[in-house]
Amino acid sequence: MQAIPIFLILSLLLSSSYAAVQDFCVGDLSGPDTPSGYTCKKKVTVSDFVYSGLGAAGNTSNIIKAAVTPAFADQFPGVNGLDISLARLDLAPSGVVPLHTHPGGSEVLIVAQGTICAGFISSANAVYFKNLNKGDIMVFPKGLLHFQINSGGSPALAFVSFSSSRPGLQITDFALFANDLPTEIINKVTFLDVAQIKKLKGVLGGTG
Amino acid sequence: MQAIPIFLILSLLLSSSYAAVQDFCVGDLSGPDTPSGYTCKKKVTVSDFVYSGLGAAGNTSNIIKAAVTPAFADQFPGVNGLDISLARLDLAPSGVVPLHTHPGGSEVLIVAQGTICAGFISSANAVYFKNLNKGDIMVFPKGLLHFQINSGGSPALAFVSFSSSRPGLQITDFALFANDLPTEIINKVTFLDVAQIKKLKGVLGGTG
Amino acid sequence: MQAIPIFLILSLLLSSSYAAVQDFCVGDLSGPDTPSGYTCKKKVTVSDFVYSGLGAAGNTSNIIKAAVTPAFADQFPGVNGLDISLARLDLAPSGVVPLHTHPGGSEVLIVAQGTICAGFISSANAVYFKNLNKGDIMVFPKGLLHFQINSGGSPALAFVSFSSSRPGLQITDFALFANDLPTEIINKVTFLDVAQIKKLKGVLGGTG
Amino acid sequence: MQAIPIFLILSLLLSSSYAAVQDFCVGDLSGPDTPSGYTCKKKVTVSDFVYSGLGAAGNTSNIIKAAVTPAFADQFPGVNGLDISLARLDLAPSGVVPLHTHPGGSEVLIVAQGTICAGFISSANAVYFKNLNKGDIMVFPKGLLHFQINSGGSPALAFVSFSSSRPGLQITDFALFANDLPTEIINKVTFLDVAQIKKLKGVLGGTG
Amino acid sequence: MQAIPIFLILSLLLSSSYAAVQDFCVGDLSGPDTPSGYTCKKKVTVSDFVYSGLGAAGNTSNIIKAAVTPAFADQFPGVNGLDISLARLDLAPSGVVPLHTHPGGSEVLIVAQGTICAGFISSANAVYFKNLNKGDIMVFPKGLLHFQINSGGSPALAFVSFSSSRPGLQITDFALFANDLPTEIINKVTFLDVAQIKKLKGVLGGTG
Amino acid sequence: MQAIPIFLILSLLLSSSYAAVQDFCVGDLSGPDTPSGYTCKKKVTVSDFVYSGLGAAGNTSNIIKAAVTPAFADQFPGVNGLDISLARLDLAPSGVVPLHTHPGGSEVLIVAQGTICAGFISSANAVYFKNLNKGDIMVFPKGLLHFQINSGGSPALAFVSFSSSRPGLQITDFALFANDLPTEIINKVTFLDVAQIKKLKGVLGGTG
């Protein structure tokens, strides 16, 4: 095998110009958004594929004693269009990630530290929950209500991955009580007492 | 053009045997289920593609004064694998379809009779609701919390279609209060008062 | 549970900025189009998710005595990217929606008024048709030829939903006779007599 | 690097048993069919991935002087579930593949021999057709009506590939005239004269 | 609101029987496999959604000083059909996960402990690699060659998630040298010297 | 049937303006790129759907005696968004398409001339290869390593189709030796001897 001619293989092998390929589409967050994700950044470096935002614990000095730190396409544009993303969950002792859904994807959680009671509820109203220890994983199928509670005495840490680069996060309480959805409507569609609704609206900043 | 030889085109044109095609896959509900839907019924007739179950009003003589009648793949196997299905909504005066999601698909509602106040809440906790009159349509994007309320003085009727043959239906109140999810957990993940939880568990048949 | 600190949960819970979510992508019809749909409108209100264009009957004062009124992404940008859309079908007595396909999706029809003879033909050339009464639904699998005929003595009304926000509509007669496709080619690819072709081109406005 | 220990990498690297992978799913044509394709054959050899059925010309001694030889999942189970398939087109001089659609996929045609006039019609009734010479390729977008005519004086050969392992093939004339669809219905949904319909039913073997 | 009648809502609201829903499809590994995944287990408990196999370190006492422990659908049937899965990576000091691809999905890696030099190569032959510290994440787009090397002095641990429940794992060296692919063919398709090929076949257990 | 009124059917039938349809999305290569493909060209002609670039043999006067001529979306924008594309393979006697993958799609090859030894390797490291003669076809499932060798004494020609409009092409040797991936890393992740690596880097133009 002689060296010099082979040196030309790259251009020879590919008869047509082949400059454009689409192995990935790092999101250009300033560009237009589409149903399949953001338009693609033109020049990328390795930094576009690496994200350090999950390295530090979220601030759990709040009432729920918990923090969710997402690495979705909006924080980590390298996953744009790739149907995958991550998030970090920090739960101080007795911390809780309240009842929520991800409208756009399924989730798998892995416990990195501590003990977490996690569960979901199916469309048939069946309840599936269990205490998870370090190294345990649990799957939460797409769109179903689920929750995580620190069920140990020490801080807990988990990483969650999603089958979408923008899975969304809809926390039921915030959807109901942290906006201006009228109390009368909430009462009708949830059967909750008006006093309970007003109490939670007060707590979560809602009006109406 | 001579008649007799053309009579043979059908077999001649297709050199290989071509018996099997897959334009559709009417679900065999007795067979195994798969992530893409039920296995396919072998012999089909026009009856497999027609369903009359939405022709009669659902029974709204209940507390919510509402009834949902689905024509999903489990009721109407003709839509199996086709990413589409329907349901009928009957709402007596002041009837309500409580807050719910469809984990598997988006929904479009069309008002056939009466007036309906319909709304949904986004992941960003923004509320979108409006009174819909006869002929109005509204879209509820995939997986988001939404509701329908008869806002007129007469019975209302709507038809809803979904982007899935099995969209699922998760009614928040039933997910919380119609099973054995422990009161303590509900309290932690929803901030609802224990008395409120117990009251609704009583009403909806839940235990724990 | 104390009120004030919880008021801050929303921002605390989500450690990273979380402004952008993609629950939906209301189409910006003036922007570029993509294989997955239009780019997304930046600011939306409830009006983007509601459409009233199906409320009025289409004009059936034409030879086919029928009208199709679509609510696809191009008329109703709220469904852009959501794999769902609707249309309204008005059929005066003896009205007909001629033989057609939707290249992009499956269809389910529900009869809201009157009686409709609807049918489709499979790739195996099997014919499936039936008289549908008020409340009956029928599915037309993706891409197959189908038709609807008012088979009762009174006006008929139906709503059709699709598994695509832009299912397309290709009416066989218009594809053949309402453009400049040369008569000679039509003759060769359909076996229709030249006189028949010229007659229909005359009727439907075709040339060539 | 020492030889013996590395010999064990294969089993050591993968801590869990890893026997089952799903790189492919060669169709078991005798098993159940599903919306995503046939169930998978358990043991496969290289023969499952190779097919010789396109090597011989189809028989064009028929009125249309053409033959289509498919290598879809039903003939070539190796493509089951892989969203790809092929077919061979033989067109004797003046041979024609009549107007047709593939309900399940897009098509690309490459001319291997001869000259072919190929065309398609869009949903907007725009006509796109052109004479293709050896080596030319043409794309026919999913579900649209298209045709191929040998426009040269010698036999033509083309290979067509599809974006589905079971794209289907609906030839408009066969859908209308090669079954028992009543003449009256055909007349209503196509505007064709009854005499024309009866003539083609006679030719193509239809009844009714 | 009176208690007793509401107790009946669940059955009343849903006019039709609604027993079957498909929120998930836990894989029945003994049943047939399909292009969309395994058929669904009929009865499930919370144990089907939890997996503890990633809790223990894989055995890195091998030449590459590394272990990959998968939780794909074949080990963790709860993710069947959900387009998501996980794996655990243990890398002793100087441990290496050799060059490989996942034919079926994209990957995101998070470093739980230690320092890992990870990289991938694009179709345009551009190289993207970086040292990742604890908490850093990196995405490896679908199907591209990539690798991980423990670049610190202590054991490293990472968790990787995939956008498929069965992403596959093709290690280039094993694909070439751990089977009976003839040396002559390997030489032709890789340009590697015969001596090099024979050496690695010896090490990895290949023949031919 | 009267002629004049029917002439108006087109506009009457479709009550709403219906100008925009999306049967296809010819790529505007100068516009933004998205995860689903390029944005759509606004005006198209039949030339956008035809490509002649595969008509001429690629230049095989190179060391591998082979040429790959792609008709992907970047060369043939008519396939943009349609999940299909083609390429032409020219192999002079003893020509070789080196070991490679297509990260984005499955491939089917048809031999148009000559004899080709083609093969692929599965995730389970099983090898599937065979001599293919004129007219034989072979499928290479998505993302798996495969190769083609002219195994006859005369030039060979093949056409390959893909299940993606941009399948990508990653030639293992170029990924390793035609860039600046450090020799030390290559050595670690492939077990190849440093001398072998340096030799191939020299041949293929790599540095580092």
For residue B19, the chain D residue with the least C-alpha distance is D74
Q: Which chain F residues contact residue E124 at CB under 8 A?
A: none
| Residue F147 contacts E where some CB pair is shorter than 8 Å | yes
D18 pLDDT exceeds 50?
no
Contact of E18 with B74, CB cutoff 8 Å: yes
Substitution target from F91, F139, F164, F172 for chain E, most E beta carbons within 10 A: F172
In angstroms, the Cα distances linking A69 to A85, A160, C13, E86 are 12, 10, 8, 19
What's the pLDDT score for residue D38? 97
**Nearest alpha-carbon partner for D45 in E179, F127, F118, F109:** F127
Cβ atoms within 10 A of the Cβ of C30, count? 8
- DSSP, residue by residue, F1-23: --HHHHTTHHHHHB-S------S
| CA of C127 vs chain F CAs: smallest distance (Å) | 25
What's the pLDDT score for residue D10? 46
| Residue D127 contacts E where some CB pair is shorter than 8 Å | no
Nearest residue, CB atoms, B163 vs list C78, C140, C163: C163
Core vs surface per residue B79-92: b (16+ CB within 10 A) or e: bbbbbbbbbbbbbb
Query: Average pLDDT for residues E20-43, to the nearest whole number?
Result: 92
Please report, in range form, the residues annotated as the binding site of D for oxalate. 102, 107
Contacts A–C by Cβ distance under 8 A: 97
Q: Which long-range contacts (CB under 8 A, 24 or more apart) does E189-197 make?
A: E189/F96, E189/F97, E189/F98, E189/F99, E189/F147, E189/F149, E190/F98, E190/F99, E190/F172, E190/F173, E191/A1, E191/A6, E191/F98, E191/F173, E191/F200, E191/F203, E192/F192, E192/F196, E192/F200, E193/F196, E193/F199, E196/F192, E196/F193, E196/F196
| CA of B123 vs chain D CAs: smallest distance (Å) | 32
Q: What angle do CA B19, B24, B25 make, to 5 degrees?
A: 95
Q: Which residue has the tokens 């406005």?
A: C205
| Residue A29 contacts B where some CB pair is shorter than 8 Å | no
* The CA-based dihedral angle spanning residues E67, E73, E77, E78, taken in that order and rounded to the nearest 10 degrees: 100
Residue D124, H or E segment? none
- DSSP, residue by residue, B68-108: EEEESTTT-GGGTTSS-EEEEEEE-TT-EEEEEE-TT--EE
**E-only strand ranges, F23-176:** 33-34, 37-38, 50-51, 66-71, 85-91, 96-101, 107-113, 116-121, 127-132, 137-140, 146-150, 156-162, 170-171
| Residue D85 contacts E where some CB pair is shorter than 8 Å | no
What's the pLDDT score for residue A20? 57
Report the DSSP pairing between strands F116-121 and D85-91. Answer: unpaired
The first and second tokens of residue A163, run together, are 């089958």
**Partner-chain contact C14 A70, CB within 8 Å:** yes
Class of residue E29 by CB neighbours under 10 A (exposed 0-12, middle 13-18, buried 19+): middle
Q: Which chain D residues contact residue B22 at CB under 8 A?
A: 33, 37, 104, 166, 168
Q: Can chain C be said to touch chain F, i.e. do they have 3 or more Cβ pairs within 8 angstroms?
A: yes
Query: Average pLDDT for residues E156-176, to the nearest whole number?
Result: 97
**Partner-chain contact C166 F22, CB within 8 Å:** yes
Query: Average pLDDT for residues E100-107, to the nearest whole number?
Result: 97
Give the confidence band of F11 by pLDDT, cuts at 50, 70, 90: very low
Nearest residue, CB atoms, C74 vs list F5, F6, F20: F20
**Partner-chain contact B80 D35, CB within 8 Å:** yes
Mean residue pLDDT across chain A = 92
Read off φ and ψ for residue B120, nearest 5 degrees.
-140, 165
| CA of C129 vs chain B CAs: smallest distance (Å) | 6
In tens, the pLDDT along C126-167 reads 999 999 999 999 999 999 999 999 999 999 999 999 999 999
- The residue with greater pLDDT, D21 or C183, is C183
D178 pLDDT exceeds 70?
yes
**Nearest alpha-carbon partner for F160 in F130, F187, F140, F175:** F140
| Residue F34 contacts C where some CB pair is shorter than 8 Å | yes
Q: CA C36, CA A166: separation in Å to the nearest integer?
A: 16
The C residues from 151 to 190 touching D (CB cutoff 8 Å) are 168-170, 172-176, 178-181, 185, 188-190
Q: Which chain C residues contact residue B78 at CB under 8 A?
A: 139
What's the pLDDT score for residue F7? 41
D195 pLDDT exceeds 80?
yes
Total length of chain B: 208
Based on its alpha-carbon atoms, the radius of gyration of chain A, rounded to whole angstroms, reads 23
Q: CA A100, CA B11: separation in Å to the nearest integer?
A: 57
Q: Which chain C residues contact residue F80 at CB under 8 A?
A: 35
| Residue D34 contacts E where some CB pair is shorter than 8 Å | yes
| Residue A57 contacts E where some CB pair is shorter than 8 Å | no
Q: Which chain F residues contact residue A19 at CB under 8 A?
A: 74
Nearest residue, CB atoms, A196 vs list B145, B173, B192: B192
Percent of chain E with pLDDT strictly greater than 90: 88
C4 pLDDT exceeds 80?
no
Q: Which chain E residues contact residue D25 at CB under 8 A?
A: 33-35
Contact of D103 with D154, CB cutoff 8 Å: no
**Partner-chain contact E15 B61, CB within 8 Å:** no
What's the pLDDT score for residue C10? 46
Contact of F131 with D52, CB cutoff 8 Å: no
Q: Which chain F residues contact residue D3 at CB under 8 A?
A: none
Nearest residue, CB atoms, F63 vs list A1, A36, A38: A1
Cβ atoms within 10 A of the Cβ of C184, count? 12
Mean residue pLDDT across chain C = 92
Give the confidence band of B63 by pLDDT, cuts at 50, 70, 90: confident
| CA of A154 vs chain E CAs: smallest distance (Å) | 18
Q: Which chain F residues contact residue E129 at CB under 8 A?
A: 181, 185
Lowest mean pLDDT among A167-181, C193-207, F20-34: F20-34
Question: Do the annotations mark residue F166 as ligand-binding?
Answer: no
| CA of A55 vs chain F CAs: smallest distance (Å) | 26
| CA of C186 vs chain D CAs: smallest distance (Å) | 8
| CA of C198 vs chain B CAs: smallest distance (Å) | 18
**Partner-chain contact C32 A33, CB within 8 Å:** no
Give the confidence band of B195 by pLDDT, cuts at 50, 70, 90: very high
Q: Which chain E residues contact residue F125 at CB under 8 A?
A: 174-175, 178-179
A137 residue type, one letter: I
Q: Which chain A residues contact residue B121 at CB under 8 A?
A: 170, 175-176, 179, 181
**Partner-chain contact F169 E123, CB within 8 Å:** yes
What's the pLDDT score for residue A63? 86
The first and second tokens of residue C107, run together, are 């269809």
Q: Which chains touch E (3 or more CB pairs under 8 A)?
A: A, B, D, F
**Nearest alpha-carbon partner for E130 in E112, E147, E113:** E147
Query: Average pLDDT for residues E48-52, to the nearest whole number?
Result: 98
Q: Which residue has the tokens 């092998």?
A: A13
| CA of D152 vs chain F CAs: smallest distance (Å) | 17
Contacts C–D by Cβ distance under 8 A: 131
Q: Domains in chain D, please, with CATH?
A: 46-168 (2.60.120.10), 175-204 (no CATH)
Q: Which chain D residues contact residue C193 at CB under 8 A?
A: 196, 199
B131 residue type, one letter: N
In tens, the pLDDT along A41-51 reads 999 999 999 99
**Partner-chain contact A101 B174, CB within 8 Å:** no
What's the pLDDT score for residue D108? 98
What's the pLDDT score for residue B8? 46
Substitution target from E10, E11, E15 for chain B, most B beta carbons within 10 A: E15
In tens, the pLDDT along C92-110 reads 999 999 999 999 999 999 9
The answer, yes or no, to whether ipTM is higher than 0.95 is: no
* DSSP classification of residue B64: T
The first and second tokens of residue D85, run together, are 């398939």
| Residue C22 contacts F where some CB pair is shorter than 8 Å | no
What's the pLDDT score for residue E22? 86
**Partner-chain contact B204 E2, CB within 8 Å:** no
Query: Average pLDDT for residues E39-51, to the nearest whole number?
Result: 97
**What residues form DSSP beta bridges with D71?**
D86
In tens, the pLDDT along B97-146 reads 999 999 999 999 999 999 999 999 999 999 999 999 999 999 999 999 99
Close Cβ partners of D151 (under 8 Å, ≥ 6 residues apart):
D115, D116, D117, D131
Close Cβ partners of C11 (under 8 Å, ≥ 6 residues apart):
none
What's the pLDDT score for residue A193? 98
Which of B18-22, E20-24, E90-94 is predicted most confidently?
Answer: E90-94
Give the confidence band of E20 by pLDDT, cuts at 50, 70, 90: low
Close Cβ partners of B30 (under 8 Å, ≥ 6 residues apart):
none
Query: Average pLDDT for residues F123-148, to the nearest whole number?
Result: 97
Class of residue F57 by CB neighbours under 10 A (exposed 0-12, middle 13-18, buried 19+): middle
**Partner-chain contact B74 E19, CB within 8 Å:** yes
**Partner-chain contact E85 A108, CB within 8 Å:** yes
Mean residue pLDDT across chain B = 92
